[in-house]
């Protein structure tokens, strides 16, 4: 989403539409510059195929159709100036369970109308996207040493399949070898955050994602580094990933590289 907003000359947290795997059809009532980032989609403006990670200019009454995702899980539709969404608690995100935020606190449905803050036509430019990967980098978490040596090895060496009961709260993974504790572990509820990898008693890990809870009581074997959270989110149901441990210095270095990537897009966009 940040890449898309940078490309559209927006603030990086400007409201965007998130599309998870399904199709979408939108009719533009006014001239709008937009782009699609995140997962790669087969997309058309009227009958013309359009690329992702490029600025596209839509004319009034043109129709954007997202037919099917080709790679990845989540796609973001960003428009120049952003969608005109009233913030709730200083955020324009949608909490569908609580029913507030975003557009009327719910998923979009047929015949909804969203206003944009500006009508525009920007020069058509494109940028490179981050290469997808199934290798996710993590750092050791506070209970890493509570697991057996065999489980510590299995955590890195085996593949983990994303289960279909995963959602924006947590990605549930299944591996051939369940993770085992060296001895029984009992923990009180404590603060948790996005990227933390909890291990319930059955030994199959859960990666906390963007809508994850703020407290939890399961031991944590590792945490996905900030730079790879977006890559983790793009793994599809039924697909696999692997984890590889890095140290804190490398994690911070990779985060700086992600910031530099967005900065370069913004600089390029501001010049065009």
DSSP characters over 18-41: EEESS-EEEE-SS-EEEEEEEEEE
Domain count, the chain: 2
Q: Is the pLDDT of residue 124 over 90?
A: yes
In contact, 192 and 212? CB cutoff 8 Å: yes
| CA gap 85, 99 in Å, rounded | 15
Residue 263: its pLDDT value, please?
97
Tell me: the pLDDT tens digits for 54-71? 999 999 999 999 999 999
Percentage of the chain with pLDDT > 90? 92
Q: Answer whether residue 187 is part of any domain.
A: yes
Q: Answer whether residue 202 is part of any domain.
A: yes
- Whether residues 140 and 97 share a domain: the answer is no
Q: Which of 48, 79, 101 is the last residue of a domain?
A: 101
- Whether residues 81 and 156 share a domain: the answer is no
Q: Answer whether residue 109 is part of any domain.
A: no
- Whether residues 256 and 160 share a domain: the answer is yes
Residue 184: its pLDDT value, please?
86
Beta bridge partners of 65: 25, 44
What is the average per-residue pLDDT within 152-166? Answer: 97
- Whether residues 147 and 242 share a domain: the answer is yes
Q: Is the pLDDT of residue 185 over 90?
A: no
- Note down the domain range covering 54: 2-101
- Whether residues 89 and 139 share a domain: the answer is no
What is the average per-residue pLDDT within 104-123? Answer: 92
Contacts of 195 (CB under 8 A, 6+ apart): 207, 208, 223, 224, 225, 226, 229, 232
CATH of the domain at 177: 2.40.100.10
Tell me: the pLDDT tens digits for 16-63? 999 998 899 999 999 999 999 999 999 999 999 999 999 999 999 999
- Whether residues 87 and 147 share a domain: the answer is no
- Whether residues 94 and 148 share a domain: the answer is no
What is the average per-residue pLDDT within 201-229? Answer: 95
CATH of the domain at 75: 2.60.120
pLDDT band at 118 (very low <50, low <70, confident <90, very high): confident
Looking up tokens 């993590």 gives 138
Q: Is the pLDDT of residue 147 over 90?
A: yes
Q: Answer whether residue 154 is part of any domain.
A: yes
Residue 132: its pLDDT value, please?
87
Q: Answer whether residue 115 is part of any domain.
A: no
pLDDT band at 107 (very low <50, low <70, confident <90, very high): very high
- Catalogue the E-assigned strands of the chain: 17-20, 24-27, 32-45, 48-50, 56-58, 63-79, 94-95, 100-101, 135-140, 160-162, 170-174, 190-191, 196-198, 206-208, 215-216, 220-224, 240-245
Residue 119: its pLDDT value, please?
79
Residue 57: its pLDDT value, please?
97
Q: Answer whether residue 230 is part of any domain.
A: yes
| CA gap 141, 232 in Å, rounded | 17
- Whether residues 9 and 86 share a domain: the answer is yes
Phi then psi for residue 32, to 5 deg, are -140, 135
Residue 22: its pLDDT value, please?
85
Q: Answer whether residue 21 is part of any domain.
A: yes
Q: Answer whether residue 191 is part of any domain.
A: yes
- Whether residues 162 and 89 share a domain: the answer is no
């Amino acid at each position: 989403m940040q890449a898309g907003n940078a490309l559209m000359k927006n603030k990086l947290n400007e409201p965007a539409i998130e599309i998870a795997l399904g199709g979408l059809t939108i009719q533009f009532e006014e001239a709008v510059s937009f782009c699609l980032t995140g997962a790669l989609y087969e997309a058309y403006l009227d009958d013309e195929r359009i690329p992702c990670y490029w600025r596209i200019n839509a004319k009034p009454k043109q129709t954007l159709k997202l037919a099917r995702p080709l790679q990845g899980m989540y796609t973001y539709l960003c428009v120049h100036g952003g969608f005109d969404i009233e913030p709730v608690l200083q955020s324009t995100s949608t909490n569908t369970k609580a029913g507030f935020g975003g557009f009327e606190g719910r998923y979009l449905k047929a015949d909804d109308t969203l206003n944009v803050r500006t009508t525009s036509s920007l020069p058509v430019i494109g940028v490179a996207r981050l290469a997808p990967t199934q290798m996710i980098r993590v750092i050791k978490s506070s209970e890493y040493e509570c697991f057996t040596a065999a489980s510590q090895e299995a955590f890195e060496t085996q593949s983990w399949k994303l289960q279909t009961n995963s959602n924006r709260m947590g990605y549930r993974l299944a591996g051939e070898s369940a993770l085992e504790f060296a001895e029984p572990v009992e923990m009180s509820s404590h603060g948790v955050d996005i990227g933390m990898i909890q291990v319930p008693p059955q030994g199959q890990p859960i990666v906390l994602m963007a809508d994850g809870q703020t407290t939890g009581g399961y031991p944590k074997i590792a945490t996905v580094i900030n730079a790879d959270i977006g890559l983790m989110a793009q793994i599809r149901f039924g697909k696999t990933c692997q984890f590889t441990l890095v140290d804190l210095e490398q994690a911070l270095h990779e985060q700086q590289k992600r910031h530099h990537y967005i900065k370069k897009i913004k600089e390029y966009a501001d010049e065009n």
